[in-house]
Amino acid sequence: MDQTLPETPVTEALAEALALFALPLNDLLYRAHTVHRQNFDANRIQASTLLNIKTGGCSEDCSYCAQSVFYNTGLANEALMSVDEVRIAARAAKEAGADRFCMGAAWRSPSDRQIGRIGEMIAAVKAEGLEACATLGMLTNSQAQKLKDAGCDYYNHNLDTSKAFYGEIISTRTYQDRLDTLARVRDSGMKVCSGGILGMGESRADRAGLLTTLAGLDPQPESVPINMLVPIDGTPLAGTPLMDPIELVRTVAVARILIPAAYVRLSAGRESLDEAAQALCFFAGANSVFLGERLLTTSNRAVDTDTQMFERLGLHTG
């Protein structure tokens, strides 16, 4: 399957997405929430947990990432976790209310031997009664199939931003490399999890471009994580101002309209949002979060804090 997108339809789709972004906020929220209710229980939040199973030493130069070998962020390299460590973490995630367990490793692409180890971890996660998700970098066709055969439900591989802005952020992997990996994941039978990062200096047109590219995949992704940049000392994006929360809300709403059946996940950067901003995001169509105090190398809201917020908002997980 070739996920390369022709230019003219993308241009037309981009204009439509920008028109959505430009709507008065109340009108945009009304449209997005209507679509959301047509596809989901508007008061249910899907809960995932993300575990960094191998830290640091990545040969990519992603400008936002603490795990790149190109930047001195003070992060120590750590070897791949054991299956028992993953099993214990998965059990704790389920007890905290998660129903999906995501495993991330700082690789450009894994070796076949490493895929075998990950397969054992996936089996351990599935044995705990959780959906399994992995994000390990680029995959070959055979590696994607091995993950599927091991029981992996979702594979995450973010596009990060628009094709036009991508070169400002990453030089060691092309946009087409990312699309090719998504095609291999889809061909294997795994569900696709793909989104991006907001607040890296991109324009609204870039945010619209990211969403139209995701919406143009056939089939569309089942899960769309929307991250806000967490500026990390030592990376090129250190000191970048936090983005406007209302622009985040608009992006969530447009994602919901363009990709109506996907779980739209508030991911990295949620710790910087107050509960009013998060409530707007949930109304706009976000219906998934990461539970737990750590997301790969950045902090996240405490589980008890999220539980209390969900209770106040009348939202439920599970």
198-220 per-position pLDDT tens digit: 999 999 999 999 999 999 999 99
Q: Hey, what are 123's tokens? A: 């089996």
On the question of pLDDT at 163 being above 60, the answer is yes
Mean pLDDT score, 76-101: 90
Write down the pLDDT at residue 5.
42
Query: Is 143 a residue whose pLDDT tops 70?
Result: yes
Please give the helix or strand (H or E) that residue 52 lies within, else none. strand 44-54
% of the chain with per-residue pLDDT over 90: 76
- Confidence check: pLDDT of 300 > 80: no
Task: Match 């990519």 to its residue by tokens.
Answer: 60
Nearest to 192 by CA among 227, 210, 161, 219: 219
Instruction: Measure the N-to-C terminal CA separation of the chain; round to a whole number of Å.
Output: 34
Catalytic site positions: 58, 62, 65, 102, 133, 193, 265
**Mean pLDDT confidence for 121-145:** 96
In this predicted model, what pLDDT tens digit does every residue of 12-43 receive, in sequence order? 899 999 999 999 999 999 999 999 999 999 99
Is 253 within 8 Å of 31 (Cβ atoms)? yes
Residues 63 and 237 sit within 8 Å (Cβ to Cβ): yes
* Contact status, residue 185 vs residue 142, Cβ threshold 8 Å: no
pLDDT per residue over 44-60, tens digit each? 999 999 999 987 778 88
